[in-house]
Amino acid sequence: MIGNSEPLVGLSVEELEALADGLLAPAAQARLSDLLARKREQQLAAGEETELDRLLRQVDHLTLLKTRAKCTLNQAKAEAAET
């Protein structure tokens, strides 16, 4: 999925807007913040390093999905303006 700029099809405007505004779950965000702070202090166990990597990949995928949703919305708006 990384680098995929294909529009998201089959979703309503409301669904695309929800995706575009999506956030990491509060518990996951809190854990990510904690792990990042502890990494700066070099206090992570090996398992926590793996967990941090997984959370960072999750953030990357969410960011890509949000970007695709925003691009799809912009494309739909541009097409609607043309008609």
For residue 1, tell me if it sits in a domain.
no
Domain that holds residue 45: 13-82
For residue 5, tell me if it sits in a domain.
no
**pLDDT exceeds cutoff 80 at 6:** yes
For residue 42, tell me if it sits in a domain.
yes
Q: What digits encode the pLDDT tens for the residues 26-79?
A: 999 999 999 999 999 999 998 999 999 999 999 999 999 999 999 999 998 898
For residue 78, tell me if it sits in a domain.
yes
Are 16 and 8 a contacting pair, CB within 8 Å? yes
For residue 7, tell me if it sits in a domain.
no
For residue 18, tell me if it sits in a domain.
yes
The total number of structural domains that make up the chain: 1
Counting other chains too, the contacts that 51-56 makes at CB distance below 8 Å and 24 or more residues apart are 55/24, 55/28, 55/31, 56/32
